């Protein structure tokens, strides 16, 4: 397999890619440009209706030229975000928390004064300053530390962050800036690099940066499409799928965003191909300063979740290559038109790469990690039901034969001749 993760034909493939992409673009989500009322726990519809809501300000990826830098949020998310349950984060944390892994964040920068990232941000150049707040938000999805009284935290709260600014101060990205950012993050020791920008035009600089990361065995995780509001236009119909870079480059894990229902915003931009889908619409995260929370929307948020899961895998199974980590994330994902990220399965499953899951990770880290009792009971119950069902089917078939065959013979029935 060339260039690590994959070498694939970039032309649209009928049925395999276009139809599923159109299916993903068919659902409706509340407009992300408005301040969102976020339900911070999920379960049954009745439970969601009974759950208190909290209004969080929206984190934008780009600020207007005359806009002030993003201010501290006064609101906090007290309950568990739906996205934590979606990726089975609590169970994954018993096996891996990303210790020893550096994750490069190529974005608007990552604030070094964000409290839940304090002491774990290595800034390259001006990467420690974040006027927009988007890079800090993504870094928080990856590695924000737990806080007393707050349910939100990052996927890999013991991972380190390498912060690289690949945009102007107001958040406008450039292909050359992203390419330089990828190289800088990899050269600083990042084993996972998340890229929020998605360009409609391919460039030699990006291709060379991706090749450099692949050569250094660093996994690039990239947004499969641009974030809103650029991702949502005034068109009457959904746009045709197309490639965006660097997500479309061989060797890059491309990630698409979904909401709490597992669907995407109406008329959102669609890629020709995406490797994974992850929480990205209506997700909770941190800001560049203070202890308040924001809500974010877009594939860059989904890429943050996938990058955090990659850090969990690289920490639990340090001998896996970047391409093996990517394949593990894909093969253990929940099956769908685009497979949906399952962080727990990624660190707990036996895969073709030979990583033995929870027991192997526990042995490697000197800890005993056992499957929760309720899960064992659920599996035992399913097994018993299957066995009982099979036995009942045999009995029913025998009973039917005992009655039907004599009656058939009495009526002159005979097996058909060849």
Q: What is the 3-state secondary structure (H, E, C) of the chain?
A: CCCCCCCCCCCCCCCCCHHHHHHHCCCCCCCCCCCEEEECCCCCHHHHHHCCEEEECECCCCCCCCCCCCCCCCCCCCCCCHHHHHCCHHHHCCCCCCCCCEEEEEEECCCCCCHHHCCCEEEECCCCCCCCCHHHHHHHHHHCCCECCECCCCCCCCCEEEEEECECCCCCECHHHHHHHHHHHHHCCCCEEEECCCECCCCHHHHHHHHHHHHCCCEEEEECCCCCCCCECCCCCCCCCECCECCCCCCEEEEEEECCCCCCCCCECCECCCCEEEECEEEEEECCCCCCEEEEECHHHHHHHHHHHHHHHHHHCCCCCHHHHHHHHHHCCECCCCCECCHHHHHHCCCCCCCCCHHHHHHHCCCCCCCCHHHHHHHHHHHHHHHHHHHHHHHHHHHHHHHHHHHHHHCCCCCCCC
Answer whether residue 155 shows pLDDT above 90: yes
Number of CB atoms found within 10 A of residue 158's CB: 18
* 252 or 234: which leads in pLDDT: 252
How many structural domains are present in the chain?
Answer: 2
Range of the domain at 398: 373-418
Answer whether residue 58 shows pLDDT above 60: yes
> What are 4-48's pLDDT values in tens digits?
343 333 333 322 333 333 333 333 233 333 334 344 433 333 333
Confidence of residue 175 (pLDDT cuts 50, 70, 90): very high
* 327 or 12: which leads in pLDDT: 327
Residue 6 lies in a domain: no
Residue 80 lies in a domain: yes
* pLDDT value of position 54: 75
Indicate if 36 and 153 belong to the same structural domain.
yes
Indicate if 192 and 84 belong to the same structural domain.
yes
Indicate if 38 and 154 belong to the same structural domain.
yes
Integer angstrom CA distances of residue 210 from 186, 256, 328, 389: 10, 19, 20, 52
Indicate if 418 and 277 belong to the same structural domain.
no
* pLDDT value of position 266: 79
Residue 7 lies in a domain: no
pTM score, two decimals?
0.76
Query: What CATH number is associated with residue 153?
Result: 3.40.50.200
Residue 183 lies in a domain: yes
Is 331 a catalytic site residue? Answer: no
- Choosing from 107, 130, 257, 259, the catalytic residue is 107
> What are 187-217's pLDDT values in tens digits?
999 999 999 999 999 999 999 999 999 999 9
Answer whether residue 171 shows pLDDT above 60: yes
Is 134 a catalytic site residue? Answer: yes
Mean pLDDT of 295-323: 98
Indicate if 228 and 334 belong to the same structural domain.
yes
* pLDDT value of position 267: 81
Indicate if 355 and 413 belong to the same structural domain.
no
Mean pLDDT of 62-82: 93
Is 374 a catalytic site residue? Answer: no
Answer whether residue 396 shows pLDDT above 50: no
Confidence of residue 353 (pLDDT cuts 50, 70, 90): low
Residue 13 lies in a domain: no
* pLDDT value of position 417: 40
* pLDDT value of position 229: 74
Residue 195 lies in a domain: yes
* 373 or 261: which leads in pLDDT: 261
* pLDDT value of position 230: 53
Indicate if 187 and 239 belong to the same structural domain.
yes
* 365 or 131: which leads in pLDDT: 131
* 124 or 363: which leads in pLDDT: 124
Residue 402 lies in a domain: yes
Indicate if 211 and 249 belong to the same structural domain.
yes
Give the separation between CA 180 and CA 85, rounded to whole angstroms: 35
End-of-domain residue from the set 322, 345, 364: 364
* pLDDT value of position 92: 98
Confidence of residue 382 (pLDDT cuts 50, 70, 90): very low
- Choosing from 60, 134, 273, 293, the catalytic residue is 134
Confidence of residue 268 (pLDDT cuts 50, 70, 90): confident
Answer whether residue 358 shows pLDDT above 60: no
* pLDDT value of position 352: 64
Indicate if 223 and 160 belong to the same structural domain.
yes
Q: Which residue has the tokens 């990058």?
A: 307
Q: Which of 348, 307, 259, 196 is nearest to 30 (CA)?
A: 259
Residue 8 lies in a domain: no
- Choosing from 61, 111, 300, 323, the catalytic residue is 300
Confidence of residue 228 (pLDDT cuts 50, 70, 90): confident
Please provide the average confidence, as pLDDT, over all residues in the chain.
79
Indicate if 318 and 387 belong to the same structural domain.
no
Indicate if 34 and 153 belong to the same structural domain.
yes
Indicate if 379 and 284 belong to the same structural domain.
no
**Strand pairing partners for 104?**
162, 193
């Amino acid at each position: 397999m060339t260039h690590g993760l994959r070498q694939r034909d970039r032309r649209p493939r009928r049925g395999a890619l276009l139809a599923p992409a159109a299916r993903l673009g068919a659902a409706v989500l509340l407009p992300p440009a408005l301040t969102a009322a976020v339900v911070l726990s999920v379960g049954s519809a009745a439970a969601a209706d009974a759950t208190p809501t909290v209004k969080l300000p929206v984190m934008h990826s780009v600020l207007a030229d005359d806009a002030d830098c993003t201010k501290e949020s006064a609101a906090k998310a007290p309950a568990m975000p739906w996205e934590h349950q979606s990726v089975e984060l609590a169970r994954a944390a018993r096996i891996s928390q990303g210790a020893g892994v550096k994750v490069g964040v190529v974005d608007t920068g990552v604030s070094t004064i964000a409290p839940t990232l304090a002491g774990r941000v290595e800034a390259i150049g001006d990467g420690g300053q974040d006027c927009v707040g988007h890079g800090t938000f993504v870094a928080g999805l990856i590695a924000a530390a737990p806080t007393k009284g707050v349910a939100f935290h990052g996927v890999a709260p013991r991972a380190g962050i390498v912060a690289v600014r690949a945009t102007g101060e107001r958040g406008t990205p450039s292909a050359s800036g992203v390419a330089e950012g990828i190289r800088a993050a990899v050269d600083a020791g990042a084993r996972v690099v998340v890229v929020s920008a998605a360009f409609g035009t391919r460039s030699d600089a990006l291709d060379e940066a991706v090749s450099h990361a692949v050569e250094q065995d660093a996994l690039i995780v990239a947004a499969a499409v641009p974030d809103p509001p650029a991702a949502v236009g005034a068109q009457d119909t959904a746009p045709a799928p197309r490639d965006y870079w660097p997500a479309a480059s061989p060797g890059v894990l491309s990630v698409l965003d979904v909401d709490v229902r597992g669907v995407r915003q109406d008329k959102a931009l669609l890629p020709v191909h995406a490797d994974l889908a992850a929480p990205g619409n209506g997700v909770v995260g941190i800001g560049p300063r203070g202890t308040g929370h924001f809500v974010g929307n877009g594939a860059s948020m989904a890429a943050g979740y996938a990058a955090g899961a990659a850090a969990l895998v690289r920490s639990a199974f340090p001998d896996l290559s970047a391409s093996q980590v990517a394949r593990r994330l894909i093969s253990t994902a929940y099956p769908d038109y685009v497979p949906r990220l399952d962080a727990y399965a990624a660190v707990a499953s036996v895969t073709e790469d030979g990583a033995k899951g929870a027991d192997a990770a526990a042995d490697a880290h000197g800890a005993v990690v056992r499957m929760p009792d309720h899960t064992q009971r659920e599996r035992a119950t399913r097994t018993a039901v299957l066995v009982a069902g099979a036995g009942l089917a045999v009995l029913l078939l025998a009973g039917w034969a005992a009655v039907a065959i004599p009656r058939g013979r009495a009526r002159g029935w005979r097996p058909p001749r060849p």
